[in-house]
Structure 1
Amino acid sequence: MNKVVLITGGSSGIGKAIGELLSHSGYKVYGTSRNPERVPQSVFPLVALDVRDAVSIRKAVAEVIAKEGRLDVLINNAGVGITGPLEEIPAEEIRNNFETNLFGPIEVMKAVLPQMRQQQSGLIINVTSIAGYMGLPYRSVYSSSKGALELITEALRMEVKKFGIHITNVAPGDFATNIAAGRYHAPVIKGSAYELPYGNTLKEMNEHVDGGSNPGQMAEAVLKIIQNPDPKIHYKVGAFMQKFSIVLKRILPDKVYEKLLMNHYKL
């Protein structure tokens, strides 16, 4: 029986790449989009879902289960970027980011867990970020929302393991996607104390995304995770130095690691 996969944020970028590879590999894939009608050429069907809307989430999950009678894999991929000096990011933008990157994925997991528990099987893959392993300057909100999802995963996998359900994280580094276009940028304010350092950091971040890895690399990693009967808790996918930065944080004294980051960002 072909496994049924639901991918949030499946209309572009990493989600689209994952969905296309899984479809070509024989999986029954459903993606989600806030506006599926705007993506008529999708290789796999898209259902309407807004991760900030609990009613939308329950409706989308129910639709897939009604069509297929089961749900084997959830890939919590939908997310949005945010940058800015914490002091200058509006509170509503911080809340919106956490709604999308943390509370939304939690609600999607809540929606699929009863079906997986009934099946006594299932896999949830939460797409987080290497940025979630460390507090990065001018990415404080993004780092913390993704880092929180990492910890939620660690805790939840212990709660549901007895039901035959596996949960894991996969943390990408910089990939060439349209995330920068959808990211909220706090404006670089003329005369602000942060004008020069934030402006320079913002430019560097955008260059990293534009020159990032092919999203197909993430798709290959996710396929291998699905094929693994006993997946690990954490996976990291990206350039060597991005993954190595996590190792350095683990072994270096805090202030030494902080100094490395500040030098990197020229702060």
Structure 2
Amino acid sequence: MKRVVLVTGGSSGIGKAIALFLQDKNYTVYGTSRNPDRYPDSPIELLALDVQDQNSINKAVDILIEKEGQLDVLINNAGVGITGPMEETPIDEVKNAMDTNFYGPLRVLQAVLPVMRKQKSGRVINITSIAGYMGLPYRGIYSASKGALEIATEAYRMECAHLNIHFSNVAPGDFATNIAAGRFHAPVITGSDYESGYAHTLKLIDEHVDDGQDPKEVASKIYEILQNPNPGIHYKVGSFLQKFSIVLKKILPEKTYENMLKKHYGL
């Protein structure tokens, strides 16, 4: 039976890994990019889609439905990284991150849910982040944007259950992708009260990504979820320590956990 999948941000990184993995499992997969022409050799068919532009999203979904007649799975993966001290990060960059990482998936759902309602079935997997479970120093905006999507998914899941549309979150840890190259970095300001801590943390963040695991692990988890007729709500994919950090936040006193994070980041 044909199953059609749309993966936003499917031209590189985790999105591309997901798209390729599912295509190998005989799903009909479409990825998206703001500029598909930049990827003429993409093994995945890419649709032009900008998650900050509702018209662009509607057009891409219309094209997909015209070609395939159905849309069974949406994987909201498109996102942007951002680092910086909370005080010194430009508000325009904060808005851009929230517009991409939180409002973007909601816009895509505005276009996709009517299709799934009409079909009386659908699966939605929102790609969040382990960072969304805690306010990480110098990654606070990123944490907030992904945490917001985690919570919104819980609401969507309850509201759409009677429509036979199932929602889940997948929260990756650090994986070896190009996200660090495309991330917005607020500048390290000489003489700032945050200079030393931010510079050290920025180096640590990039090392974690460079040493990250294979994004195929995320793709494999998503395939596993899609095989489950009654999927769960929250899934985490990453190193043992990254996943265990969420457990520790639940069981440790707040200040103890905060001090543990500060020590980890050398603050």
TM bucket by the smaller chain? over 0.9
Comparing 37-46 with 96-105, greater Cα deviation is found at 37-46
Instruction: Give the secondary structure class of the aligned counterpart of 1:32.
Output: strand
> Structure 1 residue 30 and structure 2 residue 30: aligned?
yes
Kindly state the Cα deviation for residue 138 of structure 1 after the two structures are TM-superposed: 0.3
Equivalent position amino acid for 1:228 in 2 = N
Distance across 2 between alignment mates of 1:225 and 1:8: 18
Instruction: Give the secondary structure class of the aligned counterpart of 1:87.
Output: coil
Matches within 5 A, 1:125-204: 125-204=125-204
Distance across 1 between alignment mates of 2:242 and 2:94: 25
What is the match of residue 226 of structure 2? 226
Kindly state the Cα deviation for residue 226 of structure 1 after the two structures are TM-superposed: 1.0
Distance across 2 between alignment mates of 1:152 and 1:110: 14
Q: Provide Cα deviations, 1:57-103, integer angstroms capped at 9, x if missing partner.
A: 11111111111111000000000110000110000000000000000
Equivalent position amino acid for 2:125 in 1 = I
What is the match of residue 70 of structure 1? 70
Instruction: Give the secondary structure class of the aligned counterpart of 1:70.
Output: coil
What is the match of residue 238 of structure 2? 238
Q: Provide Cα deviations, 1:101-145, integer angstroms capped at 9, x if missing partner.
A: 000000101110011011110000000000000000000100000
Equivalent position amino acid for 2:250 in 1 = R
**What is the RMSD of the two structures over their aligned residues, measured on CA atoms?**
0.6
Comparing 180-189 with 36-45, greater Cα deviation is found at 36-45
Kindly state the Cα deviation for residue 2 of structure 1 after the two structures are TM-superposed: 1.5
Distance across 1 between alignment mates of 2:223 and 2:196: 42
Distance across 1 between alignment mates of 2:110 and 2:255: 39
What is the match of residue 47 of structure 2? 47
Kindly state the Cα deviation for residue 41 of structure 1 after the two structures are TM-superposed: 1.4
Distance across 2 between alignment mates of 1:189 and 1:2: 54
- Matched residues, percent identical? 64
Distance across 2 between alignment mates of 1:96 and 1:44: 27
Q: Provide Cα deviations, 1:187-214, integer angstroms capped at 9, x if missing partner.
A: 0011111111100000000000000000
Distance across 1 between alignment mates of 2:258 and 2:195: 21
**Structure 2 unpaired stretches of 5+:** none
Instruction: Give the secondary structure class of the aligned counterpart of 1:147.
Output: helix
What is the match of residue 59 of structure 2? 59
Equivalent position amino acid for 2:8 in 1 = T
What is the match of residue 106 of structure 1? 106
Kindly state the Cα deviation for residue 16 of structure 1 after the two structures are TM-superposed: 0.4
Distance across 2 between alignment mates of 1:51 and 1:265: 32
Distance across 1 between alignment mates of 2:92 and 2:176: 28
Distance across 1 between alignment mates of 2:266 and 2:18: 35
Count of matched residue positions in the alignment of Structure 1 and Structure 2 = 267
Kindly state the Cα deviation for residue 155 of structure 1 after the two structures are TM-superposed: 0.5
Kindly state the Cα deviation for residue 148 of structure 1 after the two structures are TM-superposed: 0.2
Instruction: Give the secondary structure class of the aligned counterpart of 2:109.
Output: helix
**Structure 1 unpaired stretches of 5+:** none
Distance across 1 between alignment mates of 2:58 and 2:5: 16
What is the match of residue 94 of structure 1? 94
Instruction: Give the secondary structure class of the aligned counterpart of 2:40.
Output: coil
Equivalent position amino acid for 2:130 in 1 = I
TM (normalized to structure 2)? 0.99
Instruction: Give the secondary structure class of the aligned counterpart of 1:88.
Output: coil
